[in-house]
Structure 1
Amino acid sequence: MTLTVRDLRRILPKTYNHRREVLSEISTVLSQHQYLQPVLEKFVFNDGTAKMLINLTGTIEVIYNGKRYNIPVSLWLKENYPRTAPICYLKPTSEMVIVPSRHVNSSGEITMPYLDEWRHTQCDLHSLIQVIMAMFSEVPPLRMRLYPEDCKITIVVSLQQVLLIRVAYMRKSHM
């Protein structure tokens, strides 16, 4: 469910400890990044617990080798945001593949010093997005899939058929 800041004010869970700051930062981000939207969604933590959290989801624009790319991201705000850093992930489409690096793991989680050293008095969503954009402009986190998923399935099926034919041939020759 996509929300405006007005909607967000109305439905922002009471569990958010710093509601005014959350709303202010989201408002700033939305005014500067038109392809990001706040969404209230369930986030499942590594320990299996789930919570309804605000997720800024959409794309941020990155310039790499003089070309513009829209990188799909999800920036999850925990209930004690801005006292704690957001949880940031790439959100690749089916045509994209994550390129793991020192700032992106194979599951798409974005890790970087700005998040590790988060200080609510010095860090905010707008600056975080600027740092992510700069980082991805140097080392793109995604690439296009070389082959559509259909081709992979066709290749696997073809290999299985070849193996079955070969096994059948070997059985006949040993009889």
Structure 2
Amino acid sequence: MSVTSSTLSKILPKKYKHKKEAIAEILAAVSQNKHLVPVMDKFVFNDGTTKNLLSLSGTILMYYGGKGYNIPVSLWLDESYPRTAPICYVKPTCEMMLLPGKHVNSNGQILLPYLNDWRHTACDLHSLIQVISLTFGESLPVCLRPTKEESQSNCAAAQRHSNIYSTPEGDSYMLLRQDDGLPIQRENETCC
């Protein structure tokens, strides 16, 4: 689908206060990032409220260790965009695991100084995407989920060095030991 100013005008609701600026930035961003598309969808805020917002969803190309990777993201634009920063998330596929860290929290939200210090006259979507790409090139936000065989192999290796216990419900768990030989508290035990 080719994204044009006309198609964006039709899907971007009137409640967007700076529609012309937003459309210009979206067009610039998608022209440079062919795997991002504008989508109107429900955004759920932390307090549970929802709003129909436009997001740029798809993948951003980044390089890690000399290899290119496509990282799935959603960049949500609030109604006051570009006066306010986008709300950005890494959206791992079912084959991926999120790697929370300095720049991505456990919910997948992207945390960057560029977003915290957002000024609409100095910041834009295209530059944001470049910052995300460079940041993820230094610290990966996702990895491939281990296959069932890999998980079972890791669990079997751990079983050789741990005590295995069963619950009355039939679940198994292993008691891991710290370096000092004392058992780790129950809430830190690993189910297998």
Please report the TM-score for the alignment, with normalisation by the length of structure 1. Answer: 0.83
Separation in 1, partners of 2:17, 2:67:
40
1:20 pairs with 2:15: no
In structure 2, what is the equivalent of residue 36 of structure 1? 36
Aligned pairs for 1:158-173 within 5 A: 164=170
Q: What is the distance in 2 between the residues matched to 1:40 and 1:132?
A: 22
Q: 1:7 maps to what in 2?
A: 7
1:143 matched to which residue of 2?
A: 143
Q: Identify the residue that residue 114 of structure 2 maps to in structure 1.
A: 114
Superposed CA RMSD: 2.5
Which residue of structure 2 aligns with residue 51 of structure 1?
51
Task: Encode CA deviations 1:34-90: one digit per residue, 9 max, x unaligned.
Answer: 000000001011111111100000001011001110000000000000000000000
> Relative to total residues, which structure has the larger helix share, 1 or 2?
1
Letter of the structure 2 residue corresponding to residue 36 of structure 1: L
Aligned-partner Cα distance in 1 for 2:49–2:171 = 48
1:170 match:
none
Cα deviation for residue 4 of structure 1 reads 2.7
Q: Which has the higher contact order (CA 8 A, sep 6+)?
A: 1
Does the Cα contact within 8 Å between 1:37 and 1:58 map onto a contact in 2?
A: yes
CA contact (8 A) 1:3 1:37 kept: no
Partner of 2:98: 98
Deviation at 1:7, TM superposition (A): 1.7
Gap change, CA 1:148 and 1:51, over 3 Å in 2: farther
* Partners of 1:140 and 1:28 in 2: CA distance: 26
| Offset from partner CA, 1:2-37 (integer Å, 9 cap, x none) | 883332211210110000001000100111000000
In structure 2, the CA distance between the partners of 1:94 and 1:160, relative to structure 1 (3 Å rule), is farther
Hey, what's the Cα distance between the residues in 1 that align with 2:134 and 2:7?
31
The offset of 1:165, in angstroms, is 11
The secondary structure found in structure 2 opposite 1:72 is strand
State the distance in 2 between where 1:82 and 1:31 align. 18
Structure 1 residue ranges without an equivalent (≥5): 167-175
- The answer on whether the counterparts of 1:42 and 1:52 sit within 8 Å (CA) in structure 2 is yes
Closer/same/farther in 2, CA of residues 3 and 160 from structure 1, 3 Å limit:
farther
Q: For residues 34 and 148 of structure 1, do their structure 2 counterparts lie closer, same or farther at Cα, with a shift above 3 Å needed?
A: farther
What is the TM-score normalised by the length of structure 2?
0.76
Aligned counterparts of 1:111 and 1:164: Cα–Cα separation in 2: 41
